[in-house]
Structure 1
Amino acid sequence: MSRLTRSDLDALPGYVPGRNVADLARDLGIPEAIKLASNEVPFGPLPGVPEAIAEAVTTSHRYPDMGVTVLRDKLAARYGVDPDRIVTGCGSVALAEHLAKATCFPGDEIVYAWRSFEAYPIIAAGVGATSVRVPNTPGHGHHLSAMAAAVTDRTRLVLVCNPNNPTGTSVTRADLDRFLDDVPSDVLVVLDEAYREFVTDAQVPDALAAYGDRPNVVVLRTLSKAWGLAGLRVGFLVAQPEVATAIRKVVTPFSTSLVAQAAAIAALDAGAEVERRCAIVVAERNRVTEALRKLLPDVPASQANFVWLPLGDRAAAFGAACESRGVIVRPFPGDGVRVTIGTPEENDAFLAAAEAALGQI
């Protein structure tokens, strides 16, 4: 019998979403479970966003502006770049897919750290590219010199996740300077900054400010995390105009929906509130990290809105033990567990579950 899909996809793991909280609560017979698996912010929509959504819905029988003109202009003004350099899409992960489509033929190579964002191998396989995974350092961060050495004449794209998902580790300006100098100018380097708003380490650069003028650098950002639009999927990238133009040609038409555009425009007016919320997350991140290190000393410093527990072969058992106590975390079997920073009460519940789980597994 002939196949109807590509055989190479059989070995590709699917993207794993966080477990549904209602399902877990029902299974455990408890009123409510806690979800700390998907790197969402716990504070609800930003002021003005629900109203903008409600108004936009009244015209949802019309197509959105395919050029995303108003939102691109708003982003351009906030980040100090020309609107022609901005491309929007259905989250930053969709834009990473479009970047792969715009740069790679089958058999070309995409280099990235591992473990890093779990969508990267899926993106590479989707365009028939070869994944070149460079192991992380013992400190769970990108090994940039090894990544530069892994670039060959078949490499078309290099993905640098900073801060790194799922480990929360980051790379410094000095290390990135050296890395970008080492990568050939005809290889596109994508600096994935989905968690940029949570960065407090002055040594971790803002890629738009530091590298925005480099012809072979693309910066990815999202409004799903700090800006609270995870359920509406709005991401954007900033690239040189000729690169941005090429990427727009492969973006799915109308993929930034009418409602998403309205919500994003409203959210961008709430920058001060985003900063306030991020400060709360950072304070809780520091508190949770300090508490975890009393249980597991090698928890790395995080610059994102989550923490990483390098539990190796105990990761799956830890995740199951936390779920049995009503707390959903994100295990990566064989490597570790990622835990999103929630409200103080949610974080306290996780810490209690973690202490019990570590004593059990």
Structure 2
Amino acid sequence: MTEDVPVRIRPEIAALPPYRQGKQAGENAFKLSSNENPYEPLPTVVESLRRTVGVNRYPDASASRLRHRLAERFGVQPDEVHIGAGSVSILSQLMLAAAGPGDEVVYAWRSFEAYPGLVLIAGATPVEVPLGRGARHDLDAMAAAVTDRTRAIIVCSPNNPTGPIVTQTEFEAFLDKVPRDLLVILDEASAEFVTDPDAVDGLTKLGRENHPNVVVLRTFSKAFGLAGLRVGYAIGHRRILDAARSTAVPLSVTAQSEEAAIASLDAEAELFDRVRVIAQRRDRLAEALRAQGWIVPDAQGNFLWLATGEQTMDAAARFEQGGLIVRPFAGDGIRISVGEEESTESVLRIAQPVLDELPADHPVRS
């Protein structure tokens, strides 16, 4: 029996399980559970952290140097950029700003596991629209799910954890179907790994003047390898971002995070060489898994999806026994992050017997 809470807590919060990050890896194991970049930060980034002193002082609350740098890069005004402690914190701020009791937030499912909790914390009701063929967003169904209570829609491209993108054409057609005063959040946390030329790109392809209701989320956690420093950003209409800023925990982006992000932008060409290596490794691993007989959705992030269904937890245990920490989603499937080159052999070595043990008619078999 669950222990009684000693104070009055909102019942929906008391029933909400805390966010669970990917399991940590022990010695001699590869951690492929959290979509992290396997490369250490570049020496220039590390040096920037060494130069950043003054932890006895509060950071710049708006991370203004980083905001101005990103504004210049993407051709927007500084107040159209918002910095947060990871893109998920900005998503939380937008939920608090846009939705409350009696409101609804629409998103695809399965998608990023934090979405349901963030909606519930805001007091709103999650509306989950099943993924369509190929584990892709069904944007027509999502548009059809909009009601007069809908306050926001989240579109994740590439979709975490399944991998496929939303195309630019699909996204713009979708925007034409939903109300223009409805907040649309385009979560592009893994966008730098995308190699499909048709993919939506909220920062360079989307005509922002025609879609002021769209806010684009990006992060330095994955492609830039700064997951431990927690820094992400949003680009959108100033008034929408002002609302997010109003709900933010003040001073949550550290001076060290801002400095490392700026140094990473300075070293972007070298970092993106690493990103290309990871994307190539992802494609090779996906093809090798398909050759074994797995159905693997079109992976465009730095992770792969195996829809192991009811056998998910048993399959994840087999990977862990073999020295690979993967991310299981009970009843649905396993997300495998693309890690070190040495890990790919282990993934393939373990994946084959896992597949062999699944029922002959399992839908994950090709």
Asked if Structure 1 and Structure 2 have the same fold, meaning a TM-score greater than 0.5 normalized by the shorter chain, the answer is yes
Post-superposition CA distance 1:331-353 (Å, at most 9, x none): 11111110001121111111112
Q: Does 1:193 align with 2:226?
A: no
Specify the alignment match of 2:37 in structure 1.
Answer: 41
Secondary structure of the equivalent of 1:159?
A: strand
C-alpha contact (below 8 Å) 2:294/2:306 kept by paired residues:
no
C-alpha contact (below 8 Å) 2:312/2:329 kept by paired residues:
yes
Of 21, 46, 51, the residue aligned with 1:50 is 46
C-alpha contact (below 8 Å) 1:91/1:224 kept by paired residues:
yes
Specify the alignment match of 2:19 in structure 1.
Answer: 15
- Cα distance in 1 for partners of 2:42, 2:245 equals 29
Within-5 A mapping of 1:184-263: 184-211=179-206, 212-213=208-209, 214-263=211-260
Specify the alignment match of 1:28 in structure 2.
Answer: none
C-alpha contact (below 8 Å) 1:148/1:182 kept by paired residues:
yes
Specify the alignment match of 2:140 in structure 1.
Answer: 145
C-alpha contact (below 8 Å) 1:284/1:344 kept by paired residues:
yes
Secondary structure of the equivalent of 1:209?
A: coil
- Cα distance in 2 for partners of 1:273, 1:82 equals 27
Within-5 A mapping of 1:29-178: 32-56=28-52, 58-178=53-173
- Cα distance in 2 for partners of 1:210, 1:150 equals 26
Shift of 1:208: 1.6
- Cα distance in 2 for partners of 1:251, 1:49 equals 27
- Cα distance in 2 for partners of 1:187, 1:340 equals 33
What letter matches 2:346 in structure 1? A
- Cα distance in 1 for partners of 2:7, 2:323 equals 42
Shift of 1:107: 1.8
RMSD over aligned CA atoms reads 1.3
- Cα distance in 2 for partners of 1:359, 1:101 equals 46
- Cα distance in 1 for partners of 2:306, 2:203 equals 30
Secondary structure of the equivalent of 2:135?
A: coil
- Cα distance in 2 for partners of 1:149, 1:11 equals 29
C-alpha contact (below 8 Å) 1:87/1:237 kept by paired residues:
yes
Within-5 A mapping of 1:277-356: 277-356=274-353
Secondary structure of the equivalent of 2:43?
A: coil
Secondary structure of the equivalent of 1:208?
A: coil
Structure 1: state its 5+ residue gaps: 26-31
Shift of 1:5: 1.3
- Cα distance in 1 for partners of 2:43, 2:117 equals 35
What letter matches 2:118 in structure 1? I
Shift of 1:243: 1.3
What letter matches 1:309 in structure 2? L
Q: Between the two proteins, what is the percent identity of the paired residues?
A: 47
- Cα distance in 2 for partners of 1:293, 1:11 equals 39
When normalised by structure 1's length, the TM-score is 0.94
Mean Cα deviation higher: 194-203 or 9-18: 9-18
- Cα distance in 1 for partners of 2:100, 2:19 equals 23
C-alpha contact (below 8 Å) 1:46/1:227 kept by paired residues:
no
Shift of 1:244: 1.6
- Cα distance in 2 for partners of 1:178, 1:117 equals 23
- Cα distance in 1 for partners of 2:156, 2:43 equals 29
Structure 2: state its 5+ residue gaps: 359-366
Shift of 1:105: 2.0
Secondary structure of the equivalent of 1:18?
A: coil
C-alpha contact (below 8 Å) 2:46/2:260 kept by paired residues:
yes
Post-superposition CA distance 1:192-235 (Å, at most 9, x none): 00011001101102112233331100000000000010000000
Mean Cα deviation higher: 292-301 or 212-221: 292-301
- Cα distance in 1 for partners of 2:62, 2:320 equals 44
C-alpha contact (below 8 Å) 1:113/1:136 kept by paired residues:
yes
Shift of 1:78: 2.0
The total of aligned residue pairs comes to 352
Shift of 1:298: 1.7
Specify the alignment match of 2:364 in structure 1.
Answer: none
Shift of 1:158: 0.3
- Cα distance in 2 for partners of 1:205, 1:8 equals 35
What letter matches 2:305 in structure 1? W
Specify the alignment match of 1:29 in structure 2.
Answer: none
Secondary structure of the equivalent of 1:210?
A: coil
What letter matches 2:217 in structure 1? L
